[in-house]
Amino acid sequence: MRRLLVCSMMMAFLLGTGSAFAQNDITSKYRSTMIPRFVQYVQISSMSDTNAEWMTPGQEKMANVLYEEVKQFGFPTHFSQDKYIYVNIPSNLKDRQAPVLGLSAHYDTTPDIIGENIKPQVITHYDGQPIVLQNNHVIDFTSDPYLQKMVGKTIVTSDGTTNLGADDKAGVTILMTLLQTLAENPTIPHGPIQVVLTPNEDVGRSAERLDLNYYNPDYAFDFDAGVNGELITGNFSAEGVIVTAFGVNGHQSYAAENGYRNSADPIALITKKVARKRNLPNYSTGREGYIEPHHFEYNPKENTHSVDFRLRYFNQKDGKRWHKRLERAAQRAADKFGVEIEMQITKQYENVAYGVKPEAYNLLIQATQEAGVTPNPKEERAGTTSAMIMAKHGFGGYTIFTGQNNPHAFTEWLSEEDMFKAYKVAFNLVKHTAQMNASK
């Protein structure tokens, strides 16, 4: 009892005098704007497309809507030819230089599921009953234990005929709400802030045409993770490895004389040597990597065969080991069959942990806790914009929860409360980086 009393007195003291109170006031004011904003965004279909040269008409429309909205906030804004939207907010600190804070989200949605004509259903005061959507899709506690925490709260689902697109319209909503907050409250102290809204994340290309003149922060945070508290602090490195064997044309029957060589044998040997059973994805969990011969291609005119491996690993030592193994297998096949072999490695994701400043972790944990959220840092067997930026541009960033659940599914849903808390995390990041000193 005594302890409790002391605690509540301290709380009263903090709330009465600390700046935390004023800050909470500001963020709470914007809470009610978030669902209408989110609902507006998801109704604009903006699926990316693996086969598109770059943009899809839907993404273009979404980008234009966002750009028009962003312009009203009055910050220096750059809308690139490739439809990235950059907002560069200059520091308003008078006495010193703070580090540059970077915040990102993607406005495309996945091409893997129907994402057109999305009809969001806003459920307020959720009663805990199974949510029955069209086409027999059901969201309930069995399939979704986290839903139990949403009783009495507001959630958003699709009508079941499409996904919802909370991945990543939730992230976009969070950043747009933050921009509005900063625009309408110019006395909030902040250092330089760079915000980028990207296309094509769900086809693995959100970092591809990123312009570092507008986005190259000291601390980068991406808003694209899942539920309350989820913070992605590491990920596997991902590579596409294409190994091609060049056969020699001629008639098989006179191969001894004319030098004919087929290109299938060497590729079969390489595949057998590299992708042993224990290296396959279905034997890999946690921090174990894998290699998968994902598909083969044969070009009869050129007499070439190639195998497209998907290689995933969590640390650089493993990566080197895999590359050595691939090279050894390729050399063996070249020697045995007398053909030339070429290996092309394309890095898709790099572990963000390699490129993050050490103090970024504490910054994120503090910002999360102050939003009333228990941090749940984890490494993921996947990659988002941060991992693509790390692979292409060499700086890493953490990925923060947004309130999206079950992405890429008809049963995708959004937690209004988690989205609001993620916005508070973003606000806290602004507040805390303003108190740091830029390292020069």
Shortest Cβ 66–Zn ion spacing (Å): 16
Kindly give the pairing relationship between strand 404-405 and strand 413-415: antiparallel
The C-alpha atoms of residue 391 and residue 429 are separated, in whole angstroms, by 24
Give how many residues touch Zn ion by CB under 5 A.
3
Q: How far is CA 321 from CA 241, 274, 276, in A?
A: 14, 11, 14
Shortest Cβ 224–Zn ion spacing (Å): 4
| Stretch of residues binding Zn ion (CB under 5 A), selected from 97-105, 145-153, 168-176, 241-249 | 168-176
Q: Does 224 bind Zn ion (CB under 5 A)?
A: yes
Residue 218 vs 380, nearer CB to Zn ion? 380
Q: Does 222 bind Zn ion (CB under 5 A)?
A: no
Residue 168 vs 218, nearer CB to Zn ion? 168
Q: What secondary structure does DSSP assign to 352-385, as a single string?
A: GGGGS-THHHHHHHHHHHHTT---EEEEESS--H
The C-alpha atoms of residue 124 and residue 416 are separated, in whole angstroms, by 10
Q: What angle do CA 157, 230, 222 make, to 5 degrees?
A: 85
On whether the CB atoms of residues 80 and 203 are closer than 8 A, the answer is no
| Stretch of residues binding Zn ion (CB under 5 A), selected from 38-46, 156-164, 217-225, 411-419 | 217-225
Shortest Cβ 385–Zn ion spacing (Å): 8
The C-alpha atoms of residue 208 and residue 215 are separated, in whole angstroms, by 13
Which DSSP letter does residue 17 get? H
Burial of 50-78, coded b for 16+ CB within 10 Å and e otherwise, reads eebebbbebbeebbeebbebbeebebebe
The C-alpha atoms of residue 291 and residue 274 are separated, in whole angstroms, by 8
Residue with tokens 């986290």: 146
| Stretch of residues binding Zn ion (CB under 5 A), selected from 67-75, 153-161, 220-228, 430-438 | 220-228
The C-alpha atoms of residue 172 and residue 195 are separated, in whole angstroms, by 10
3-state secondary structure labels for all residues of 190-250: CCCEEEEEECCHHHCCCCCCCCCCCCCCCEEEEEEECCCCEEEEEECEEEEEEEEEECECC
Residue 244 vs 385, nearer CB to Zn ion? 385
Residue 91 vs 399, nearer CB to Zn ion? 399
| Stretch of residues binding Zn ion (CB under 5 A), selected from 83-91, 223-231, 235-243, 341-349 | 223-231
| Stretch of residues binding Zn ion (CB under 5 A), selected from 8-16, 166-174, 283-291, 310-318 | 166-174
Shortest Cβ 152–Zn ion spacing (Å): 28
Residue 225 vs 241, nearer CB to Zn ion? 225
Residue 404 vs 428, nearer CB to Zn ion? 404
Shortest Cβ 225–Zn ion spacing (Å): 8
Pull the structure tokens for residue 73. 């906030």
The C-alpha atoms of residue 35 and residue 108 are separated, in whole angstroms, by 18
Q: Does 412 bind Zn ion (CB under 5 A)?
A: no
Residue 273 vs 408, nearer CB to Zn ion? 408
Q: What angle do CA 259, 264, 270 make, to 5 degrees?
A: 110
Residue 160 vs 383, nearer CB to Zn ion? 383
Shortest Cβ 202–Zn ion spacing (Å): 6
| Stretch of residues binding Zn ion (CB under 5 A), selected from 96-104, 204-212, 219-227, 287-295 | 219-227
Q: What secondary structure does DSSP assign to 382-422, as a single string?
A: S--HHHHHHHHHS--EEEEE-SEESTTSTT-EEEHHHHHHH
Q: Does 167 bind Zn ion (CB under 5 A)?
A: yes
| Stretch of residues binding Zn ion (CB under 5 A), selected from 167-175, 259-267, 293-301, 408-416 | 167-175
> Which residue of 30, 35, 157, 168 would you call a contact of Zn ion, by CB under 5 A?
168
Shortest Cβ 168–Zn ion spacing (Å): 4
The C-alpha atoms of residue 236 and residue 303 are separated, in whole angstroms, by 35
Binding mask 124-163 for Zn ion (x = CB under 5 A): ----------------------------------------
| Stretch of residues binding Zn ion (CB under 5 A), selected from 66-74, 222-230, 315-323, 368-376 | 222-230
Shortest Cβ 167–Zn ion spacing (Å): 4
Residue 163 vs 177, nearer CB to Zn ion? 163
Least Cα distance to 387 among 376, 378, 398 occurs for 398
Shortest Cβ 305–Zn ion spacing (Å): 35
Residue 223 vs 337, nearer CB to Zn ion? 223
Least Cα distance to 424 among 379, 356, 366 occurs for 366
**Residue 225 buriedness (CB in 10 A; 0-12 / 13-18 / 19+):** buried
The C-alpha atoms of residue 89 and residue 100 are separated, in whole angstroms, by 10
Shortest Cβ 318–Zn ion spacing (Å): 26
Shortest Cβ 423–Zn ion spacing (Å): 17
Shortest Cβ 211–Zn ion spacing (Å): 21
Footprint of Zn ion on this chain (CB under 5 A)?
167-168, 224
